[in-house]
Structure 1
Amino acid sequence: MLSPEAEPFASGRDADVYSIDDEWVLRRYRDGHPVRDEAEFMRWVGNHGYPVPAIGRVDGPDMVIQRLSGPTLADAVIAGDLGPVELGEMHADLHRRLHAIPAPSGAAGQVVMHGDLHPYNVMLTADGPVVIDWRNAEQGPAEFDIAMTAIIFAQVVLDPAFAELSELLREALNSYLANSIDPTPHLPTALASRGRNVTLTKEELALLPKQDQLIRSML
């Protein structure tokens, strides 16, 4: 195991990020989840020119990755530095670029799916947006990946805890769907997968049917 400073400087639902130096950080899963597959997907898309952090050492649940400077897209929108329409267009473009990369297996109809592409998983750096947190990456149909992002956007639109962001994210979701392929063929599968996410609260899970309705109303 790697040994960074004792306290993380950032934390997500299932991982903590520790500072190593000016160039590298350590991302560690709290449940011990191994990062080997995640790292392999990141290296694969990075070798095809997709914007991901450079990877250093990988060890069990630990991944040393490039330190990025800049806000997340979510923080940029909240600060008023990025508009909702631009946010939706940016996410659609990131998915188009990702889905143009051949799947490692070469299977027909399969692409690399991020599986969790939302505004807190994109850093807005001086060189452009960089996509982070590839834990859910796998091969599959592009429509599933599009549907999953739409579901996450819709959750924030409908969640009373984020009422102040509701209209902004509604506009962003509409922009995202308008600039993406139709996700409806895999929307039911993506909703079922989201329903099995153990990090979601029962209140968040209860919103899934309304998320389905909202997404379909925009298509």
Structure 2
Amino acid sequence: MNLVGTGRTADVWALDDARVLRRYRDGRSAEPEAELLRHLHAHGFPVPPMHLVDGPEMTLGRVGGPTMLHALSTGGLDLHTAARIVLDLHALLHAVPPRGPGEAILHMDLHPDNVLLGPDGPVLIDWCNAIEGPPGLDLAMTAVILGQVAVDGPFAEGAAAFARPFIAASPSLLPHLDNALAHRAADPHQSAAELAALPRAADFIRAAAG
């Protein structure tokens, strides 16, 4: 197997041209995520097809195409189109009926590195943080993630240019911003630098929202 992706909690290995294996490093069961993917797929939301679950491992259909982040970095996608795709994915996701009493299904980690630009359109991956709640919280979390990059690091200028039209088009995120910041601050996988950037990210978001 070839390692084709690694995140904060899981690694992704290519099994062949059609399948990948996603494995949680902490050994947790992949079944809750698999159940959510089945539900989303049944309602027409673009997720990778799910084939098999075995403990912390999940076999998924391989999506041909780059991440949105890669396409942005190479000039294959412009910032405003990318921001529109992210907004559209939020809207489509929040229209899927929730499985529990929550208002909507929230991804809570929807950013350009979790969007694959497949041959049939964008596909959203990495659902380990998904919860149910108000759609504005999901939008606010995306704004926080973008805002952290926009105020710190070598990709700040591009992240800011991406984030501003997204934030301006998402006024419903502002009432949920403090909650999103608290969620992000409580994430044990955040680095010290990422945590330190949160207050400046909040200021950036409020300024971008006007």
TM norm structure 1? 0.91
Match of 1:172 in 2: 162
Q: Which residue of the other structure, out of 135, 140, 143, is the alignment partner of 1:142? A: 135
Match in the other structure for 1:98: 93
Q: Which residue of 2 aligns with 1:89?
A: 84
Matched letter for residue 126 of structure 2: D
Q: How many angstroms does 1:196 deviate by?
A: 1.1
Matched, 1:115 2:105: no
Contact in 2 for aligned 1:86/1:172 (Cα 8 Å): no
Deviations 1:50-72 (Å, cap 9, x if unpaired)? 10000011122111001111110
Q: What is the alpha-carbon distance in structure 1 between the residues aligned to residue 4 and residue 121 of structure 2?
A: 23
Question: Which one has more relative contact order, counting CA pairs under 8 Å at least 6 apart?
Answer: 1
CA contact (8 A) 1:52 1:131 kept: yes
> Mapping of 1:202-213 within 5 angstroms?
202-213=192-203
1:199 aligns with 2:189: yes
Counterpart code for 1:125 = G
CA RMSD of aligned residues (A): 1.3
2:64 corresponds to 1:74: no
Aligned residue in 1 for 2:174? 184
Q: Percent identity, aligned pairs only?
A: 43
Q: Residue 65 of structure 1 aligns to a residue in which SS?
A: strand
Shift of 1:190: 0.9
Give the aligned partner of residue 45 of structure 2.
Answer: 50
1:102-155 CA-partner distances (Å, limit 9, x unpaired): 1112x3x61000110010000001111000000011111101100110011111
On the 8 A contact 1:17/1:27 being kept in 2, the answer is yes
Aligned length: 209
Q: Secondary structure at the match of 2:3?
A: coil
Given the alignment of the two structures, is residue 154 of structure 1 paired with residue 147 of structure 2, yes or no?
yes
Alpha-carbon distance change, 58 to 181 in structure 1, aligned in 2, over 3 angstroms:
farther
2:131 partner letter: E
Is 168-177 or 73-82 further displaced after alignment? 168-177
The answer to whether the 8 Å contact 1:84/1:169 transfers is no
Per the alignment, residue 20 of structure 2 pairs with 25
Task: Note the residue ranges of structure 1 that are not aligned, 5 or more in a row.
Answer: none
**DSSP-derived class of the 1:200 partner:** coil
Offset of residue 178 of structure 1: 2.6
Give the secondary-structure state (helix, strand or coil) at the position aligned to 1:153: helix
- 1:157-206: per-residue Cα shift (whole Å, max 9, x none)? 1122xx2x322221211111233342111111111110011111111101
Q: Deviations over 1:35-56 (max 9, x none)?
A: 2111111111111111000001
Task: Tell me whether 71-80 or 58-67 shows the greater mean CA deviation.
Answer: 58-67
Q: Which amino acid aligns with 1:30?
A: R
> Equivalents in 2 of 1:101, 1:54: separation in Å?
17
Q: Structure 2: which 5+ runs fail to align?
A: none
Distance in 2 between residues matched to 1:48 and 1:180, nearest whole Å: 24
Q: Distance in 2 between matches of 1:66 and 1:200?
A: 29
| Residue of structure 2 in register with 1:10 after alignment | 5
Cα shift at 1:217: 0.8
